[in-house]
Amino acid sequence: MKNIYKVAFLTLVMVPMVYAGNEDRVGSAGASHLLINPWARSSAIGDAGYAQINGLEATYTNIAGLAYTDKTQIKFNSSNWMGSAGISFYSAGIAQKVSESSSIAISIQSMNFGDIPITTVENPEGNIGFFSPRTNIFNVGYARKFSSSISGGINFKVISENISNLKASGVAIDAGIRYVTGEQEQLKFGITLKNVGPVMRYRGDGLAQQVEYVTTGFIASLEERSATFEMPSMLCIGGSYDFIFNENNKLNLAFGFTANSFFNDQYRLGLNYAMTSEKMAFNLRAGYVYEKNLLSIENRSNALVGPTAGFSIDALVGENKTALGLEYCARFAGVFGTIHTIGATIDLK
Per DSSP, the residues of 76-118 read EEEEEETGGG-EEEEEEEEEEE-SSSEEEEEEEEEEE---EE-
Which pLDDT belongs to residue 131?
84
Whether the pLDDT of residue 135 is over 80: the answer is yes
Highest mean pLDDT, choosing among 25-39, 194-208, 222-236, 266-280: 266-280
User: What band does 11 get if pLDDT is binned at 50, 70 and 90?
Assistant: very low
Share of the chain above pLDDT 70, in %: 92
Element (H, E) at 135: strand 134-145
Cβ–Cβ under 8 Å, residues 139 and 156: yes
Would you kindly state where each structural domain of the chain is located, as residue ranges?
2-348
Q: Is the backbone of residue 46 left (phi > 0), alpha (psi -120 to 50) or beta?
A: left
Interval 90-103: pLDDT, tens: 999 999 999 999 99
Which pLDDT belongs to residue 207?
81
pTM of the predicted model as reported, rounded to 2 decimal places: 0.86
**Average pLDDT estimate for 35-62:** 95
Fold of 2-348: Porin (2.40.160)
Which pLDDT belongs to residue 121?
80
